[in-house]
Amino acid sequence: MNWIALKSPDQLETLRAESKSQPIIIFKHSTRCAISQTALSRLERSWNVEEMGLVRPYFLDLLSYREISTRIADIFDVEHQSPQVIVLKNGEAVFHKSHFEIDFASIKKASLQTN
């Protein structure tokens, strides 16, 4: 999986704009949390590039960039959790799950489903 690192709050407006032409996934990860590591590992093992080629995956290290996580919660009206996955489409959060509810099948469905 080729994660794009989120390292600046300014990137969030770019994500919002990108999500109008393709689905965006944000994975919020705590490097000190075993549950977060497990959820990340399960997602990466399940990820299918052929199926998800149009989806852009972004990765946020919560411990290094807590301010970005707070801005994500505010901008996209999603309560902060860790670990957490958020799917953006058309400038809005259309799906979010945390902890062991994070799974490839539901992320794929939310990302690729047409409204």
Determine the pLDDT at residue 16: 95
> Scanning the structure block, which residue is given the tokens 């996955």?
85
Cβ-contact 60, 69 below 8 angstroms? yes
What average pLDDT score do residues 17-32 get?
Answer: 96
Q: If 0-12 CB within 10 Å is exposed, 13-18 middle and 19+ buried, where does residue 89 land? A: buried
Per-residue confidence (pLDDT) for residue 21, from 0 to 100? 96
Residue 94 has pLDDT above 80, yes or no: yes
pTM: 0.94
Q: For residue 115, what pLDDT is reported?
A: 58
Helical pair 34-46 and 104-112, crossing angle rounded to 10 deg: 60
73: amino acid identity, one letter: A
For the chain, domain boundaries: 4-112
Q: What is the DSSP letter of 57?
A: E
Residue 57 has pLDDT above 90, yes or no: yes
Report the alpha-carbon distance of residue 17 to residue 35 in Å, rounded.
Answer: 31
Radius of gyration of the chain (CA): 13
| Per-residue pLDDT at 53 | 85
β-bridge partners, 26? 58, 86
For 4-112, which CATH superfamily applies? Answer: Glutaredoxin (3.40.30.10)
* Residue indicated by tokens 């047409």: 114
